[in-house]
Homo-oligomer: A and B are copies of this chain.
Amino acid sequence: MEARALLRFFFILITALLLLHLFTRSWLHLISDKADLLNCSNYSPWCTSKNRFQPKSNNLLLNNPEKSRTKTTQNHKTQIPHHPLDPLTIQEINKARTILLSYAPFSSSSSFTVHSLVLEEPEKTLVLNWKKGDPLLPRQASIIALLNGQSHLITVDLQSNKVIHHEITKPKSGYPTMTIEDMNSATWAPLYDPNFNRTIINRGVDLADLACLPISTGWFGIKEEKRRLIKVQCYTMQGTVNFYMRPIEGLTVLLDMDTKEVVEISDLGLEIPIPKASDTDYRFSKQNKPLQMRVLNPISIEQPKGPSFVIEDGHLVKWANWEFHLKPDPRAGVIISKAMVRDSESGVLRNVMYKGLTSELFVPYMDPTDAWYFKTYMDAGEYGFGLQAMPLDPLNDCPRYARYMDGVFTASDGTPFVRSNMICVFESYGGDIGWRHAESPITGMEIREVRPKVSLVVRMAASVANYDYIVDWEFQTDGLFRIKVGLSGILMVKGTPYDNMDKVPGHEKLYGTLLSENVIGVIHDHYITFYLDMDVDGSDNSFVKVNLVREETSPEESPRRSYLRADRHVAKTEKDAQIKLKLYEPSEFHVINPSKQTRVGNPVGYKVVPGGTAASLLDHQDPPQRRGAFTNNQIWVTPYNRSEQWAGGLFVYQSQGEDTLAVWSERDRPIENKDIVLWYTLGFHHIPCQEDFPIMPTVSSSFDLKPVNFFESNPILRMPPNLEKDLPVCKAADSV
């Protein structure tokens, strides 16, 4: 090596190390602020992931409830499974890892990464027949590992300590969900590239202020195939923790996720200034302007006798007339299983749903330019919706009497870690009315009967980088359950040269709303697709469209010319159940049990009550829409198939859309009187507005599953009203 080259090498090396040091210091400073939030006593991924700032401390892998600010009481180290659907325990994960590490080719390689290590659920029929007191069904772990660019699907039996299934999957496309370590490393890997660093400095950003985000690439043709790629975009943290509002616009780094090599740097936004830091920090401690409203007195949902639900054996929730199994999942977030409701006449527990979960998300941004076109996130399959669900904030994320459940997940080296307080369960009462009737002055009868509405909420909140998704499963005593998604957090914004709309040339496309000086909130959609394996009084169900149709009367038949008639159509095959909702062609959508009728002969059922509907309008041949084709309809029904759970496919990352719900449904299999799965997609079109800056007030939408001739009559007829004598006696905190 000649002297000049050597000199240049040293210069680059020293610069890189210096910058790395600065960068590290900056992150560490932030981390040390509130060390109990993500500390190692809670087994945070921060500790167990292979990040470069903190050593992995296995001896800290004990839960420390005293230090926990919340009500986690689980001792994960000694936890054992009680139910066939209970998630893998710490011990089981360690065991599975040990078996894997002694199994070729993993025994001879240290370069594999574990992308998923979860319970392999027993066959549905076995679970349905299992009763408490029976011996636990065989425990198995399902592992997805990546080795030399190949995805391995492995099943490990935890009794026999053996690998009982091993498949090197050869899908046409797609990689497993990223690990936290994949995402972390993508944020700092570009710093090893001098060209990248020069680019940053060229933008006037101090490398110590740099914050970068790993952005899934989607798939846009052959150029990006055959290796795991990710795009990295960066921001400056200078002057704010809300770096999302300070993009280095137009700079996109294409990175090989496995080699950490920078493949390409696109640097197109040189003329675009970085938006200002002022008024972007959202932390309460940093607010120094007046609130400009009357301060609210303390308000709280109080239950001095405690909540009315129990969580038996860690996962079995029993409340009012409901029972269900609840568990965290790294991909879906929350899984509700074996949801049953007690019959209001017989008292017998009746099946409603075998399994319900968030199957996939699809979040396409509406900007076709270089730094934006690929932003078409599929958050569950790419990032792990559960992996991104952070510990909930007691008293703010959930009310006072909430109970919390931890997630036990797996780091990329196969070691377990605990995501504390990932799910909360609480009873909600906001003043709503369950049912009421007062006799009117017309009849004059002195009757006024009112019942308050109390519900049970299961909540998680996933923070997929900037955005926060609040997912609620809300159960009502009348048998209805509601699935609600709230959107909050921080917009993904775009830098612009403009600081006022009057400076934007008429022909110029902004692709969004000018939110603040030099900040555009780009238009985007959110689709959240739910998997709902309905088992209404048994597994074999049918899907019925009840269409409301205008019927014209014949002359002389009636003084009325028209009325609405309800026509029932039982869907025979999958294509009969691909539903695009139409306001002017209204329908109800029932999942019924054709073998069971009520006393007066109606088939028992549940109906899906649409809400929060937005339809994807993208071209069906657009690569993102091919991958997100599960949003082509709002409702789908498929026959139960163990392998069809993830609407965007098992391997979503860089997938080409050949394994989606839309593809499965195209087979048009019979669905009448079969074990069927209902799929529903909640949609949001989001045109940002200034109120979304610098952090968004929550916007929510929901849909319902509602009993329809499931009960013989109103199941909450006998609910007692509130009586003054039963309500708590409270004092203000400062008067005690």
A30 to B734, CA, bound (A): 48
Q: A241-B447, A448-B391 given as contacts; is B435 within 8 A of A698 (CB)? A: yes
Contact at B728–A731, with CB atoms within 8 Å? yes
A367 on the B face (CB < 8 A):
yes
Q: Which residues of B contact A445 (CB under 8 A)?
A: 27, 30-31, 241
A214 to B601, CA, bound (A): 33
Contact at B301–A429, with CB atoms within 8 Å? yes
Q: Which residues of B contact A241 (CB under 8 A)?
A: 445, 447
Q: Please name the residue on chain B nearest to A54 by beta carbon.
A: B444
Ranked nearest first, the 9 interchain pairs of A and B with the lowest CB-CB distance are: A430-B430, A501-B601, A368-B558, A396-B450, A220-B559, A293-B321, A562-B619, A561-B622, A730-B730
Contact at B561–A727, with CB atoms within 8 Å? no
Contact at A300–B302, with CB atoms within 8 Å? yes
Give the number of copies in the complex: 2
Contact at B301–A320, with CB atoms within 8 Å? no
A391 to B446, CA, bound (A): 11
How far apart are A614's CB and chain B's nearest CB, in angstroms?
Answer: 6
Q: A434-B698, A731-B729 given as contacts; is B442 within 8 A of A586 (CB)? A: no
How far apart are A163's CB and chain B's nearest CB, in angstroms?
Answer: 29
Contact at A732–B728, with CB atoms within 8 Å? yes
A5 on the B face (CB < 8 A):
no
Chain A contact residue count (CB 8 A cutoff): 221
A345 on the B face (CB < 8 A):
yes
Q: Which residues of B contact A734 (CB under 8 A)?
A: 726
Q: List 6 A-B contacts (CB under 8 A).
A: A220-B559, A390-B440, A397-B450, A438-B468, A514-B601, A693-B713
Q: Which residues of B contact A49 (CB under 8 A)?
A: 441
A298 on the B face (CB < 8 A):
yes
**A465-487: which have CB < 8 Å to B?**
465-466, 468, 470, 476-480, 486
A511 to B734, CA, bound (A): 61
Contact at A433–B397, with CB atoms within 8 Å? yes
Indicate with 1 or 0, residue by residue over A548-564, a CB within 8 angstroms of chain B CB atoms: 10101100011111111
Q: Please name the residue on chain B nearest to A31 by beta carbon.
A: B446
Q: Please name the residue on chain B nearest to A212 by beta carbon.
A: B443
Contact at A399–B513, with CB atoms within 8 Å? no
Contact at A618–B563, with CB atoms within 8 Å? yes
**8 further contact pairs, Cβ within 8 A, besides A437-B468, A691-B711:** A301-B430, A395-B722, A397-B436, A435-B698, A479-B691, A513-B602, A516-B713, A727-B733
**A319-339: which have CB < 8 Å to B?**
319-321
Partner of A730, one of B304, B320, B709: B304
How far apart are A358's CB and chain B's nearest CB, in angstroms?
Answer: 17
Q: Please name the residue on chain B nearest to A503 by beta carbon.
A: B601
Interface-facing stretch out of A193-201, A577-585, A661-669: A577-585
Contact at A440–B461, with CB atoms within 8 Å? no
Q: Which residues of B contact A514 (CB under 8 A)?
A: 600-602
A534 on the B face (CB < 8 A):
no
Contact at B580–A582, with CB atoms within 8 Å? no
A135 on the B face (CB < 8 A):
no
Of the listed residues A284, A565, A729, A731, the one surrounded by the most CB atoms of chain B closer than 10 A to its CB is A729
**A213-260: which have CB < 8 Å to B?**
213-214, 220-221, 241
How far apart are A331's CB and chain B's nearest CB, in angstroms?
Answer: 15
Q: Which residues of B contact A429 (CB under 8 A)?
A: 299-301, 399, 430
A660 to B463, CA, bound (A): 49
